[in-house]
C-alpha cells in the first residue's frame, strides 16, 4: 500500500475520464464531458465513432484498434488519422497482443510505428500492452518497442481483457523499463483512491478511470 500523499486536484490532473462501453450513446458522451469538467480532470477518452466532440478546456483522446488489437496496422493508422482529423489530440492504440505473446517485437514496433507515422509528431500516442496477458519479459520488450517507435506513453490495459487490468507490479516494471523517457498510463480496474495512489507510487504518470468521481472523492482537497 502506498503512502504517497496527493490532493484531489493533483490526481485529477493525471486522469483520462473514460467511456468506452459498446452501448455508449451520444448523450452518454455529453454527460461524460460535463462530469469531466465538474471533476477538473485532464482529459476525456472515447471511442472514435463518438468523434467529434465539443470539450473545450479538456484534452480529447480516442482509442484505436480497440479492444482486441487484432486489426491490420494500416487500418489502425487510418482509424487514428481519422480520429485526429475529427479532433482527437491523443490516441490510445492497442498493439497486436498475440505478436507480443509470440515474442515478435519487430511486429509490435512496426504496428506502433505505422500509427505514429499516420498521426504525425504532434499527437500524443499511448500504446496499450494488455499487460495482464503478457509475461514480465514480454512487457519489458513491448515497452522498448513502443518507445523506439515513438510512443509518448505505454499503457497497461484496455479494461476489457478477461485476464485483468492494471497491477502495481506491471506499472512498476513499465516505469523501470522506460526510465522516465516516456509516460506510463495505468488503466483498467482502478476503482478506489488508494488503488490510484498505489499506481502513481509505482510510476504511473497518467490514469485511465471510468469511475473517476469515486476515486477522487476518496482524496483530500
Q: Output DSSP code: residue 103.
A: T
Q: Is residue 123 part of a domain?
A: yes
Give residue 22's pLDDT.
97
Give residue 1's pLDDT.
59
**CATH number reported for the structural domain that contains residue 166 in this entry:** 3.20.20.70
Give me the domain span that covers residue 59. Answer: 8-217
Q: Is residue 3 part of a domain?
A: no
| Separation of alpha carbons 180 and 205, rounded Å | 9
Cβ neighbours of 116 (radius 10 Å): 22
| Separation of alpha carbons 116 and 103, rounded Å | 21
Contact 61, 29 (CB under 8 A): no
The string of DSSP codes covering 129-150 is --GGGS-HHHHHHHHHHHHHTT
Query: What's the distance, Cα to Cα, between the start and end of the chain in Å?
Result: 21
Q: Is residue 92 part of a domain?
A: yes
Show the low-confidence residues of the chain (pLDDT under 70): 1-3
Give residue 14's pLDDT.
98
Domain count, the chain: 1
Q: Is residue 1 part of a domain?
A: no
Give residue 2's pLDDT.
62
- Dig out the grid coordinates for 44 from the structure: 476525456
Q: What pTM was estimated for this model as a whole? A: 0.97
Catalytic residue IDs: 92, 155, 185
Give residue 5's pLDDT.
84
Q: Is residue 20 part of a domain?
A: yes
Amino acid at each position: 500500500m502506498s503512502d504517497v500523499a496527493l490532493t484531489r486536484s493533483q490526481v485529477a490532473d493525471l486522469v483520462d475520464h473514460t467511456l468506452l462501453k459498446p452501448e455508449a450513446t451520444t448523450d452518454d458522451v455529453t454527460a461524460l464531458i460535463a462530469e469531466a469538467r465538474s471533476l477538473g480532470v485532464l482529459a476525456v477518452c472515447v471511442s472514435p465513432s463518438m468523434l467529434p466532440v465539443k470539450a473545450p478546456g479538456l484534452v480529447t483522446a480516442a482509442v484505436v484498434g480497440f479492444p482486441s488489437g487484432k486489426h491490420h496496422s494500416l487500418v489502425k493508422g487510418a482509424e487514428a488519422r481519422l480520429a485526429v482529423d475529427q479532433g482527437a489530440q491523443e490516441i490510445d492504440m492497442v498493439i497486436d497482443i498475440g505478436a507480443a505473446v509470440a515474442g515478435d517485437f519487430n511486429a509490435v514496433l512496426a504496428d506502433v510505428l505505422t500509427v505514429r507515422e499516420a498521426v504525425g509528431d504532434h499527437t500524443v500516442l499511448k500504446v496499450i500492452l494488455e499487460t495482464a496477458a503478457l509475461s514480465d519479459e514480454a512487457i519489458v520488450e513491448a515497452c522498448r518497442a513502443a518507445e523506439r517507435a515513438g510512443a509518448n506513453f505505454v499503457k497497461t490495459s484496455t479494461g476489457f481483457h478477461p485476464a485483468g487490468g492494471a497491477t502495481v507490479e506491471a506499472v512498476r516494471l513499465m516505469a523501470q523499463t522506460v526510465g522516465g523517457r516516456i509516460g506510463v498510463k495505468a488503466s483498467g480496474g482502478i476503482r478506489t483512491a488508494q488503488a490510484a495512489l498505489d499506481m502513481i507510487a509505482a510510476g504511473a504518470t497518467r490514469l485511465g478511470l471510468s469511475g473517476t468521481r469515486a476515486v477522487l472523492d476518496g482524496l483530500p482537497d
